[in-house]
Structure 1
Amino acid sequence: MEYRREIDGLRAVAVLPVIFFHAGFSFFSGGYVGVDVFFVISGYLITSIIIRECEEGRFSILKFYERRTRRILPALFTVIICCIPFAMAWMIPQQFEDFSKSVISVCLFASNFLFWRESGYFAPNVDEKPLLHTWSLAVEEQYYLFFPLFVLLMWRFGKRPTFYAIIGISLVSLLIADWASTAHPKANFYLPPGRVWELFAGSLCAFHFSTSVNRGNDWAGGFGLLLILIAIFWFDSKTPFPSFYALLPVVGTVLVILFADERTYVGRLLGLKPFVGIGMISYSAYLWHQPMFAFARIESIDAPSPVLMLSLAVMSLLLAVLSWKYVEQPFRTRSFRLAATRSKIFALSAATSVLLVSVGAWGGFTGQFYDLKTQPIQNELLTSALSSPKRDTCHASPRHNIPPVKACSFFSKNVTWAVFGDSHGVELAYAVARKLKEYDIGVKQLTFSGCRPTYGQSIREDPCAEWTSHAIDYLVQHKEIKTVVISYRINAALFGSQTGVYPSIPDKNTEKHRKDVWGSYIAEMKVLQKAGKRVVLVLQAPELPKDIQWMIYNTPLQSHQSVGGVPRSWWDARAHYMYGHLDDIPRSVTVIDPSKQFCNHEECFAARNGTSFYFDDDHMSVAGAGIVAGRITALVSPIASHLSRTN
């Protein structure tokens, strides 16, 4: 196959935006589409080789797998091996357990399935996963495993039927991607059904060149490059992806492959030495950058500065040069004697995989790393950092919708209380129910994951808004429920999450958005009061800069077995809108402020007196919620009716 410099240059256009996107530079908000560019390039190059060898009657599955093994595994295994000591030094046990499982999944070419089950690509804290980026390698590896077999099967019917079969599968895959981008966005992002069409787009380019010569066209090649750049700088985490939107980078890449060569301006631009040089090391650069960024985020309580992230990006390119020269090239050129033959490279790869899977199994399933890392006092604090035992079964979400009529009730058939809100109400519902159990009073849990206040807003096709409307209707209609406790992560709904930005104060939403959210917040209280309910509002508890486990392992233990969280001044600044609008709350609503139990004048604590107030970075633990529940049940009792409204 004739070498094309502009293809290596196109790899540079793919990898640099991905690196800058993972570094957190908002200017490259759609930098993740670089992966889609890689998919098209891979489909084109691999299919070109297969077609040529099939036409010459010398295609060998074993030879194909050998080439892929030499190309992918040595550098990948090197990066994983280098990650392990840093993971053991800097990760808390839960992180190391997750990391260890990801090591296993990478070795089994299945990390995309693991990350799909764990979290979304744009979820909070996901950028602390050192091997997150290997999901795309898993998709490619799955393509490499099955595509040659598919071509061999179809080739019996001829080249043209193979071509049309690829077109048909591509169209089906594209339609699946667009449908699943809203119906099943996490699965759609990670799994092959919504990605195959991108690889096959490159395959179709290969079929074109197998019968036609490259006819350079400045306009078509330039338009293709423009489409890629538009996606890089215009798309963001809210863009449904992959979907029809992915046609921009994919079609753009196809146009560059088909119409850019050394005779065109785009071809000559992409053929410049800096682009070609970065393109040649792009695979290693892709491998190295994410672990470096992830460990920088893991190690520090503060979000890494842009200067640090830029420095790490440059360092990843330098490591990529070394990796390309001393790892990639020796294996590809067979100059490394231990992997000089096919049997040797397969044996060495298998042995390394077994070793890494063994390490992953030790860290992911034995619990020995926890014992190695944990001191007795840390263990005591961790035992109270627990979520509700009913969280998995009783907490609604878009994937686990629980109609209000089927919502869980706790500990008594005499259900006269309800806890209503987002995920911050889950532990509170369980804790309140435990407090009321001795009085034979049951509690209904009505909570929906990530659901901001939406009552009264015209929001279509939103599972949260629909559920909220049904839940409030349920509460209004069920007269036996006398008391409703409302609990939201209201500051995140107003300004965005603190995750990854601390010690800065998040400010992600518009003023109109904040007015709408706060207006719905107040409207929910009013409609419940109008229905004769006694309303208790639990303000959001202070957030932590990191997960409670990280705080316990990495923050110096204070007196009285306490662990610091955030300065009180930071929390007051973070919650200024909430505190500044308390007068909007109806006078007869009982307002509970957890900061009065969790903070003093100087600091808000993660744990105190041997009790962890949280089970992650923002949700109260059952123990922490129990402290708040005790305050609630005291204030709404007849004896305490004379107490101050805000406590």
Structure 2
Amino acid sequence: MTSSGAAAPSPHDKLAFRHDINALRAIAVTSVVLYHFHLPYAWGGFVGVDVFFVISGFLMTQIVTKRQAQGNFSVWTFYADRFYRIVPALWTVCFAILIGTSIWLDPLSLRGVARSVASSITFLSNFDYATQGGYFGGASEANWLLHTWSLSVEWQFYLLYPLLFVIIAAWAPLRGRKIAVLVAIGLLSLLLCAVVPLTRYDALLRTSFFLLPARAWELIAGGLVALAPCDRLGRRAKAAALVVGLALILASVLAFNGGTAWPNLATVIPVAGAALVIAAGHGSAGWTRLPGVQPLGRWSYSIYLWHWPVIAAFTYFAVENTALAIVAGVVLSIALGWLSYVLIEQKLTRRLFDRRSPSARPGVILNGAIAALLVLTAGVFATHGLEALKFPRSEPTVVAAADRIKVAAGDWSFPKSCATYHVTRTGLRICRQGGGGPVETFVIGDSYSEEIAPRYRTLPRGPADPAVVFVTRPGCAPLPGVQLRGSIKNCGASTDEALAMAKTGNYPRVAIVASWLGSFNKAEGEPSRGRVCFERGLTCRASGDETVYLQDATAAFGRLGLVIRDLRAKGAEVMVTKTFPQASEADPKRLFARLYRTRTLDDFGVPTDQMRQTAAYPNQLVDSLGGPDGAVLVDPLDHLCGADCPLVTDGTPLYYDVSHIRTNTVSSPAFAFLDPYILPRGAQR
């Protein structure tokens, strides 16, 4: 969502106001807001951003071609107009967030906010977030300015697009040739968008989502509508285009979800829908005059800017996601958007552009404001989130607790603790602990196997000493025919390779250690359970019907059960762990915030009964792997939990992040229950 979400691009453009485009903005921002607040049936509301890209491409093409036709086109004027249009509201949001979080947030969270403010106001946030992680994960809600990635994409588009038209004007001035050039560039971008999900590198998916090359075709689609002779369409053709376009957008909102790898070839559906609605040109049709539609369209840019910080604030202060909280959040987002529209987009922008004022120097004012904001963010970042001020040395117990949290957040020893380590063609990580002798235990799993691997780093490493091999793929449940939703990781290929290695290796013992809860727990705001989908030919299904989903999950565990029985028949001992304890409150980032608010880091945990209830669904699935000819099932809750599953003990955090236990904890006697199934025979702790 970008400047195209506002009522008018700039005073210089003087484009005819179209109520249908403004209504399309209202639809787009509504879908995005409802999706981010986890409203049912708005599963694919994130496609609203794709709709905004099409709108922006249409408007920018109109602006450039109109000025070129008038003979007064200037690249620098185009840049200035876009800058003046976008920056005031964006700067206001960034400044308000930086000041507010400087008062209320803990140092660790504040340092992250300062980084985000700097990357957002310089339109580099999409590059920043592409290196940090995905857009659809729950942890994304801790990033107060994650949504500004789309502004960065559009600003980068604005920098390149007018230059392209200058080149086209000199080389191929005819409209048909302009269209041919844009089609060629758009097809290359679409090809990239389609090919990336077919590769096996997860980092490419993040790059594809956040960066311009795989998004440019969406903006160009709007540009092609601006260049096409849509006015020649008949009344019936326009009516059909409107109905089909709106239907495509609605279908996208209902059909897609956060588990969908995005963008991909299916992104054509909402993009085509937006293009058809614009091409229809029903400027003042009845649907555009429905109550609230036009105001929402006018306020859409500011609503988009403010709604995500509202969500981030709710997340940070642990506001329970009740119906009342959702309604309050949506209403607050709209109210802040309205205020920003009236005070910033209208009054402030008009003052900046008031040519009657001899002191009106918008460029100097805005650049000075940006420079001042960057100085503030640099100061906050350099002081580690004002840590000395928030955790003064006059409170030694608080400072000591903060230091213990920092140590926990960095206490992860995989793969550097491995005796040897390499990665296979399918992405499997092979970590060998022990010596060069025979492999006595073969451990298959995801990051939870990597979590326990450092416990065995002290095994003798002589050439004849026995070894334990950990074969892992983070994020991939070790189940045949199962993929990670919304990811381009080829989990199926790596799982097949790991299980084939287990079957052909004739290992005395095989252990399977994985995050069953992470794979199969119900994710908030998603129509289907868990993070996985089940292969069906060229597709991967994750049904929203609980009965169908359970059937698919049961079948996947049945396939793993067949492998286990085969291993048992060959004489191998097989152990499978059930769900490990985990809780969002264990995350060191949350502990840091807790320490800032309470000034203490008391011991606490999650009630074991509550943890068992949370783990009931995945543990029910794992139970099917046991039995006389199946695996030995080990329940970590039996060994790590008493009345509570501890998260902080003796003032020391036990976890590395929201779900993984830190190396120091795994190396303690509490995890000795794993040793009989993993340690080489005769090895002593």
Q: TM > 0.5 between the two?
A: yes
The counterpart of 2:647, out of the listed 595, 599, 606, is 606
CA contact under 8 A between 2:441 and 2:469: conserved in structure 1?
yes
CA contact under 8 A between 2:107 and 2:385: conserved in structure 1?
no
The counterpart of 1:173, out of the listed 180, 186, 189, is 189
CA contact under 8 A between 2:576 and 2:631: conserved in structure 1?
yes
Match of 2:205 in 1: 185
- Using the aligned pairs only, state the percent identity: 26
Confirm whether residue 243 of structure 1 aligns to residue 285 of structure 2: no
2:241 match: secondary structure: helix
Name the amino acid aligned to 1:515. T
Confirm whether residue 488 of structure 1 aligns to residue 514 of structure 2: yes
Match of 1:645 in 2: none
1:333 match: secondary structure: helix
Match of 1:134 in 2: 148
Match of 1:539 in 2: 578
CA contact under 8 A between 1:42 and 1:199: conserved in structure 2?
yes
User: For each residue in 1:156-210, what CA deviation from the matched residue of structure 2 results, as whole angstroms up to 9, or x when unmatched?
Assistant: 121332222112111222222122234343222211122111111111122236x
CA contact under 8 A between 2:252 and 2:270: conserved in structure 1?
yes
CA contact under 8 A between 1:386 and 1:623: conserved in structure 2?
no
Match of 1:413 in 2: 436
State how 1:313-392 maps to structure 2 within 5 Å. Answer: 313-334=330-351, 344-364=361-381, 367=384, 369-370=386-387, 372-373=390-391, 375-391=399-415
Once residues 409 and 637 of structure 1 are traced to their aligned partners in structure 2, the CA distance between those partners, rounded to angstroms, is: 13
**Worse overlay, 522-531 or 320-329:** 522-531
State the shift of 1:38 in Å: 0.9
**Worse overlay, 316-325 or 355-364:** 355-364
Match of 2:71 in 1: 57
Confirm whether residue 202 of structure 1 aligns to residue 216 of structure 2: no
Match of 1:477 in 2: 504
Name the amino acid aligned to 2:65. I
The counterpart of 2:550, out of the listed 495, 500, 511, is 511
Match of 1:553 in 2: 592
Match of 1:631 in 2: 673
Name the amino acid aligned to 2:161. F
Name the amino acid aligned to 1:475. A
Name the amino acid aligned to 1:188. S
Match of 1:290 in 2: 308
Once residues 275 and 393 of structure 1 are traced to their aligned partners in structure 2, the CA distance between those partners, rounded to angstroms, is: 58
State the shift of 1:366 in Å: 5.2
Confirm whether residue 463 of structure 1 aligns to residue 490 of structure 2: yes
Once residues 456 and 212 of structure 1 are traced to their aligned partners in structure 2, the CA distance between those partners, rounded to angstroms, is: 50
Change over 3 Å in CA distance of 1:638–1:314 after alignment to 2: closer
Once residues 490 and 90 of structure 1 are traced to their aligned partners in structure 2, the CA distance between those partners, rounded to angstroms, is: 36
User: For each residue in 1:326-351, what CA deviation from the matched residue of structure 2 results, as whole angstroms up to 9, or x when unmatched?
Assistant: 11113432357899789832223323
Count of matched residue positions in the alignment of Structure 1 and Structure 2: 629
Q: So what's the TM-score if we normalise by structure 2?
A: 0.82
1:26 match: secondary structure: coil
Confirm whether residue 594 of structure 1 aligns to residue 636 of structure 2: yes
Once residues 130 and 550 of structure 1 are traced to their aligned partners in structure 2, the CA distance between those partners, rounded to angstroms, is: 14
Once residues 498 and 251 of structure 1 are traced to their aligned partners in structure 2, the CA distance between those partners, rounded to angstroms, is: 29
Match of 1:220 in 2: 241
State how 1:62-77 maps to structure 2 within 5 Å. Answer: 62-77=76-91
State the shift of 1:431 in Å: 1.3
The counterpart of 2:609, out of the listed 552, 556, 569, is 569
Once residues 313 and 194 of structure 1 are traced to their aligned partners in structure 2, the CA distance between those partners, rounded to angstroms, is: 31
1:605 match: secondary structure: strand
1:16 match: secondary structure: helix
CA contact under 8 A between 1:181 and 1:240: conserved in structure 2?
yes
State the shift of 1:420 in Å: 1.9
Once residues 251 and 101 of structure 1 are traced to their aligned partners in structure 2, the CA distance between those partners, rounded to angstroms, is: 36
Match of 1:453 in 2: 478
CA contact under 8 A between 1:385 and 1:622: conserved in structure 2?
no
State the shift of 1:134 in Å: 0.8
2:443 match: secondary structure: strand
User: For each residue in 1:4-48, what CA deviation from the matched residue of structure 2 results, as whole angstroms up to 9, or x when unmatched?
Assistant: 122211111111111100111131111111111111111111111
Name the amino acid aligned to 2:612. D
1:156 match: secondary structure: helix
Once residues 144 and 680 of structure 2 are traced to their aligned partners in structure 1, the CA distance between those partners, rounded to angstroms, is: 54
**Worse overlay, 211-220 or 466-475:** 211-220
**Worse overlay, 61-70 or 241-250:** 241-250
Match of 1:281 in 2: 299
User: For each residue in 1:307-337, what CA deviation from the matched residue of structure 2 results, as whole angstroms up to 9, or x when unmatched?
Assistant: 2122111111111111111111134323578
Change over 3 Å in CA distance of 1:286–1:638 after alignment to 2: closer
Once residues 499 and 391 of structure 1 are traced to their aligned partners in structure 2, the CA distance between those partners, rounded to angstroms, is: 34
Name the amino acid aligned to 2:98. I
CA contact under 8 A between 1:394 and 1:445: conserved in structure 2?
no
Once residues 423 and 633 of structure 1 are traced to their aligned partners in structure 2, the CA distance between those partners, rounded to angstroms, is: 18
2:658 match: secondary structure: coil
User: For each residue in 1:410-467, what CA deviation from the matched residue of structure 2 results, as whole angstroms up to 9, or x when unmatched?
Assistant: 35333533432111111201112336679955432211111113248899x9722221
User: For each residue in 1:495-553, what CA deviation from the matched residue of structure 2 results, as whole angstroms up to 9, or x when unmatched?
Assistant: 3458999xx9x997621133134334544543443444343433321110345214423
Once residues 655 and 264 of structure 2 are traced to their aligned partners in structure 1, the CA distance between those partners, rounded to angstroms, is: 38
Name the amino acid aligned to 1:544. A
Match of 2:7 in 1: none
Change over 3 Å in CA distance of 1:289–1:256 after alignment to 2: same
1:239 match: secondary structure: coil
User: For each residue in 1:199-257, what CA deviation from the matched residue of structure 2 results, as whole angstroms up to 9, or x when unmatched?
Assistant: 11111122236x95786532222222222222122222233432332222222222221
**Worse overlay, 631-640 or 2-11:** 631-640
1:410 match: secondary structure: strand
Once residues 436 and 69 of structure 1 are traced to their aligned partners in structure 2, the CA distance between those partners, rounded to angstroms, is: 63
CA contact under 8 A between 1:70 and 1:345: conserved in structure 2?
yes
State the shift of 1:149 in Å: 1.0
Name the amino acid aligned to 2:150. S
Match of 1:25 in 2: 39
CA contact under 8 A between 2:440 and 2:680: conserved in structure 1?
no
Confirm whether residue 268 of structure 1 aligns to residue 286 of structure 2: yes
The counterpart of 2:278, out of the listed 254, 257, 269, is 257
Change over 3 Å in CA distance of 1:338–1:598 after alignment to 2: farther
Once residues 269 and 320 of structure 2 are traced to their aligned partners in structure 1, the CA distance between those partners, rounded to angstroms, is: 32
Match of 1:306 in 2: 323
The counterpart of 1:115, out of the listed 103, 125, 129, is 129
Ranges in structure 1 where 5+ consecutive residues have no aligned partner: 642-647
Change over 3 Å in CA distance of 1:187–1:637 after alignment to 2: closer
2:478 match: secondary structure: coil
State the shift of 1:272 in Å: 4.4
CA contact under 8 A between 2:433 and 2:459: conserved in structure 1?
no
CA contact under 8 A between 1:93 and 1:370: conserved in structure 2?
yes
State the shift of 1:83 in Å: 1.2
Change over 3 Å in CA distance of 1:457–1:314 after alignment to 2: closer
Name the amino acid aligned to 1:427. E
Match of 2:394 in 1: none
Match of 1:159 in 2: 174
Match of 1:143 in 2: 157
Change over 3 Å in CA distance of 1:220–1:390 after alignment to 2: same
CA RMSD, aligned part only? 3.8
